[in-house]
Structure 1
Amino acid sequence: MKRFPHTYVIVFAIIVVVAVLTWIIPGGEFIRKTIVANGHERVVIDAQSFKYVPNQPQIWEIFGAFFQGFVNQAGIIVFILIIGGTFWVINSTQSIDVGIQALVKKIHAANQLKMIRILGSDNVAIVFIMLIFSLFGAVFGMSEETIAFIVIFVPLAISMGYDSIVGISMTYLAAHVGFAAAMMNPFTIGIAQGIAQLPLFSGIEYRFICWLIINSIAIAFVLWYAHRIKKNPQRSPMYELDKSWRSNHSASVDISHLRATAKSWIVYFLLILTGVYLSFSFSKTTIQIGNSVVSFNFIALITVYFSISSFWAIRKSLRYFILNLLITTIFILILGVLGYEWYIKEIASLFLGLGITTAIVFGYSANETVKQFLDGAKDILSAALVVGLAGGIIVLLNDGKIIDTILYHIAQSLKNTGEIGSVSMMYLFQNGLNIIIPSGSAKAALTMPIMAQFSDLIGISRQLTVLAFQFGDGFTN
């Protein structure tokens, strides 16, 4: 059986095709100008300034394009590697597993409440778990990483009277739903908006509404399917394959009891002192969401939250403390992006600090920390390299003087389709591209430099272009 070409092979083939096109397509260029929008400088095309120029055929420049692509995308590549390494360290402590198990127990304990009994504790558990994993997908771009949780949630689903499809849906499907809506996904929205020169995670209000709608549809489907299987388990297409799970299932593994060490207490107090210092240094943080502006000492608020919640967590279990470090990091990330215009450098630094802190708290030696981090970076290295390789495509298009010619003729062909038609074509294009390039970050690096400038030519916002990319990538990723 023939194997489908590797992503690297596909990207290299595209680069070769682009190099050939530099010999065929006439050269052309637009005049570009820098404007200030919402307090940010932005390079845009003068749509009326296109003119043909001599093209620059590319041959040996193919290999130089690889190098320049990595140079141009170096920040994003390092960012991806740091995120991958940090989450590998956190996952190796099994802290996220413990947090999920605790949430499920709390939900079942809430069955004493009349409303929970009416809704059904199992239904509430499914909804709650799906929302948690959907948030992981929407905020951190978690998708195939959720495969590690299947060994927890498939037995849990079967013990609740469902099948393995429900267990996978609670984790894998939910994460992909969040990935598709992508409120703050750094690997898709973050990269796409950065390339499109938009403020990081801007437009989150609309994407949040989309996230709610898409999740509602997905959750309704899973609940319908779960109810159908619980009523008649033999209707499940996995009924025979789930027999081994049904006979040997264990809904949870007791891994939560791990006593706090002196190191963890030292880290706890040092982080509180750091928070107090920053609370006085940055006494007010101004956040603008839509047309609303709020000024408050959010750093002090996060510090108080961390002090109280971590004191409880560290006394209960070391893994709960690590889990709370992750939750606090999410709050800091949101505050940094909304209040201090953080970008890839700051977010990468934050997560690198989280990874090192987690390793210290869990008692890893320096060598073990490096090993875990490298394992995580190695696991996500292929995605990081694709970003650099895809960057080479744009280098050839620019150096060959054909990118503006392509933009001009596409814009001319779609000029009469209207805004809806143009955005629809962008969406369908991204859907089709998933067949050959499944990496969301690679597609962002490959297509957004063209799509962002194309949107300027046809008079639609770059934000809408990013949304077309996100949904086109997310729904068929």
Structure 2
Amino acid sequence: MKEGFKVPHTLILLLSMMLVAYLATWLVPQGFFDTVTLDNGRQAVVPGTYALAEAQTRLTPMDFLVAIPRAFAAAQDVIFFVFIVGGVLAIARATGTIDALIGRLLERFGHKPNILIFMVVFCFALASGAIGTAGEYIPFVLILVGLCKAMRLDAMTAVGMVVAGYGIGYGVSAFNPFTVMVAQKVADIPVYSGIELRLAIFLPFVLIGFHHVWSYAKKVQANPELSLTKGLPCPLAGTAEANYPTLNKRHQMILFGLIAAIVTAVWGISQKGWYLYELGAVFISWGIFTTVVGQIGADRAANEFIEGVKDLASTAILVGVARGIALIMEDGQILHTLVYAMSSPLSHLGAELAAVGMFIMQTLLNLFIPSGSGQAYVTMPLMAPVGDIIGVYRQVAVLAYQFGDGFSNMIIPTNAVLMGIIGMAGVPYHLWFRFCLPLFGKLMLAASVVLVLAVTFGYGEDVQPKVETTAQIQS
């Protein structure tokens, strides 16, 4: 990097992307697909119905400015969940539980960071792949940052463990209810079919993520000057290794309460359809439990909670602004145009190249449609008939969607969960991008190979619907 060049603040980068999206609404043709309402109430596009909008919507500068507070409102569930987690963890740290836990983990893994990194990446990938966990990882970030700091690693290593597990879990998920189930239903193939391939590729992709994080961690441990976060303030600065308290019975009870809260959250997600509002309530309950068991007093707990929230104010701002990019494109009526423009050329490619093209298209569209299920409802009704025409089975089209949605979650700044995780750890986005881009490239290459082989060996032929009439894809 040239001396004197300063990378803009993450907030400036996001606002710049919003401005680019705003300008695009004046330059990109506006249009829509027809949509239908499914049994679950969600809207899905109808393939072959794209048409230019009769009335052009021209967003004014005022519309651009109004989109910023609207984006905060649209991302309120993530923002307030981040606030709650930050406040509750501050209470837990005031009881000494977090520091005691770090000290105990150091006793077990202090000389085996490779085992710790693999376990975190593997477990987080397993959870994301099984039940679609994502924002639930935010409470673990500060614990891992403190642990890495004590092991002469850095905050980037902690974030790498969390996000690699999260993104890979979504990308190669065997039965994520928010992505695999939705996409297969929209593509009209049996839910959870083709699971054997997804299970087979799970560990190899996890090993790619582990290798990337561990390779970086080894360099930092050997030479701290190589840390990408060198010179940045640590969120848990000030705790010396020798001062870690003993993990006593009171701390163990608080940690048991955390495990109970997580188990409750997992049950609620899988059985009751809970999401961030309910999860926030669960963590508030744990905060109250921690206050009582930790015997720190109501006033101190309140002050600690507020201080924890203050520390995450900048993170909340980034999460809110990140949502504004897609909001501008929706208001400017160009989101469907981008989907149409990206999907149309696929019909002119061979099956293998088209499968990889679907993957690339889904990756790019995740920047504008960061919701996994939302992306499935917009893109899979188009990808299924395109695949029917060019010989890409629908199971392969679903796999391309999974890869595109999951892996790009690790790097796109419009992903509110990612911004919450790196914000919690105090890692600027541009530094995270430098760390993650090589990993993203490795996963893209590996996924492309899997897709080509899936087409070659007829993955999904057994569940391919018999299509009597071919949908017309506009060129």
1:228-267 matches, within 5 Å, as 237-238=222-223, 253-256=243-246
2:409 maps to: 473
| Separation (CA, whole Å) in 1 of partners of 2:374 and 2:209 | 32
- For 2:21, the equivalent position in structure 1 comes to 18
Number of the residue aligned with 2:31:
28
State how far apart, in whole Å, the 2-side matches of 1:41 and 1:209 are.
Answer: 34
Partner secondary structure for residue 41 of structure 1: coil
The answer on whether the counterparts of 2:170 and 2:406 sit within 8 Å (CA) in structure 1 is no
> Aligned match of 1:141 in 137, 141, 145?
137
**Residue of structure 1 in register with 2:12 after alignment:** 9
Q: What amino acid sits opposite 2:66 in the alignment?
A: G
The structure with the larger Rg is 1
Could you say what secondary structure the match of 1:401 adopts? coil
CA-to-aligned-CA distance 1:375-427 (integer Å, 9 cap, x gap)? 33333333332332233333332232222222222221334345522343147
- Using the alignment, how far apart are the partners of 2:328 and 2:156 within structure 1? 42
**Alignment correspondent of 2:100:** 98
Secondary structure at the aligned position of 2:223 is classed as: coil
Percent of residue pairs identical: 20
From 119, 139, 149, the counterpart of 1:131: 119
Change (3 A) 1:403 1:342: same
Equivalent residues in 2 for 1:73-112, closer than 5 Å: 73-102=75-104, 105=107
Structure 1 CA distance, aligned partners of 2:201 and 2:47?
A: 32
**CA distance 1:392–1:368, change in 2 (3 Å):** same
Q: Which residue of 1 aligns with 2:383?
A: 458
Q: What secondary structure, in the 3-state scheme, does the structure 1 residue paired with 2:306 have?
A: helix
Letter of the aligned partner of 2:92 in structure 1?
I
CA distance in 1, matches of 2:63, 2:372: 21
Q: TM-score, normalised by structure 2?
A: 0.61
Contact between 2:359 and 2:400, CA under 8 Å: does it hold in 1?
A: no
Quote the offset at 1:319 in angstroms.
1.0
C-alpha change, 1:386 and 1:99, in structure 2 (3 Å) is closer
Change (3 A) 1:210 1:42: farther
SS in structure 1 of the partner of residue 296 of structure 2:
coil
Label 1:383 to 1:239 Cα distance change in 2 as closer, same or farther (>3 A): closer
Quote the RMSD (CA, aligned, Å). Answer: 4.6
| Aligned-pair CA distance for 1:45 | 0.4
Name the TM-score, length of structure 1 as normaliser. 0.61
Native 8 Å contact 1:58 1:400 kept in 2: yes
Matches within 5 A, 1:30-69: 30-36=33-39, 40-53=40-53, 54-59=55-60, 60-69=62-71
Residues 43-72 of structure 1 show CA distances to partners (whole Å, capped at 9, x for unaligned) of 100112221122111112112222322222
Alignment CA distance shift 1:33-1:384 (3 Å): farther
Specify the code of the residue in structure 2 equivalent to 1:42: R
1:391 paired residue number: 323
Q: Which residue of 1 aligns with 2:72?
A: 70
Residues 198, 127 of structure 1: alpha-carbon distance in 2 compared, 3 angstrom cutoff? farther
- What runs of 5+ residues in structure 1 fail to find an aligned partner? 109-121, 155-163, 230-235, 242-249, 258-315, 434-442
1:358 deviates by: 1.5
Rounded Cα–Cα distance in structure 2 between residues aligned with 1:71 and 1:221: 36
Distance 1:457 1:223, change over 3 A: closer
Structure-1 separation of matches of 2:164 and 2:8: 27
Match of 2:301 in 1: 369
2-side partners of 1:209 and 1:6: how far apart? 41
Q: 5 Å matches for 1:30-429?
A: 30-36=33-39, 40-53=40-53, 54-59=55-60, 60-102=62-104, 105=107, 126-127=114-115, 130-132=118-120, 135=123, 140-142=136-138, 145=142, 146-154=144-152, 173-182=160-169, 212-216=203-207, 237-238=222-223, 253-256=243-246, 316-417=248-349, 420-426=355-361, 429=364
Inter-CA distance 180–399: structure 2 relative to 1 (3 Å threshold) = closer
Matched residues, number: 362
How far apart are 1:176 and its partner, in Å?
A: 4.2
* 1:392 to 1:224, Cα distance in 2 relative to 1, 3 A: closer
Deviations 1:23-47 (A, max 9, x none): 22232112111112xxx33210011
Residue 69 of structure 1 aligns with an amino acid whose one-letter code is A
- How far apart, CA to CA, are the structure 1 residues paired with 2:290 and 2:259? 12
Q: CA deviation at 1:240?
A: 10
In structure 2, the CA distance between the partners of 1:210 and 1:84, relative to structure 1 (3 Å rule), is farther
Quickly say closer, same or farther: Cα 1:223–1:151, change in 2 above 3 A: closer
Gaps of 5+ in 2: 227-239, 385-393, 411-435, 441-475
3-state SS, counterpart of residue 48 of structure 1:
coil
How far apart, CA to CA, are the structure 2 residues paired with 1:175 and 1:368? 30
Mapped contact 1:131–1:174 kept (Cα < 8 A): no
Is residue 11–residue 389 contact of structure 1 (8 Å, CA) maintained in 2? yes
CA shift for structure 1 position 372: 2.4
In the TM superposition, residue 183 of structure 1 has moved relative to its aligned partner by 6.0
